[in-house]
Amino acid sequence: MKTVTIKLKEIKDVYDFVTVVTTYPGDIDIVSGRYRVNAKSVMGIFALDLTKPLDLEIHGDDPDEAIKALKPFII
């Protein structure tokens, strides 16, 4: 598992983010405080406070592949 910090600034960013994340076969979670949601869920992401940076936990065989694809969202 690898953890990176992301920022989703606009609604379009959320949709673009989910489009990229759904191509990754492993599990990816977004953690904000004590809340954890599936990063492949648009509704789950919108339930979080998007004004703050979010922790992204990438599980699976090759998390570096996902990190490369998600570079525009990583801060």
Tens of pLDDT, residues 46-59: 999 999 999 999 99
pLDDT at 60 over 90: no
Closest by CA position to 75, among listed 17, 1, 12: 17
**% of the chain at pLDDT higher than 90:** 93
Task: Provide the 3-class DSSP secondary structure of residue 23.
Answer: coil
pLDDT (average), residues 58-67: 91
Asked if 47 and 37 count as a contact pair (C-beta separation under 8 A), the reply is: yes
Indicate the pairing of strand 2-6 with strand 54-58: antiparallel
pTM here? 0.92
Query: In this predicted model, what pLDDT tens digit does every residue of 5-25 receive, in sequence order?
Result: 999 999 999 999 999 999 999
* Dihedral, CA of residue 55, residue 60, residue 62 and residue 63, to nearest 10: 0
Name all domains of the chain by residue range, CATH numbers in brackets: 2-73 (3.30.1340.10)
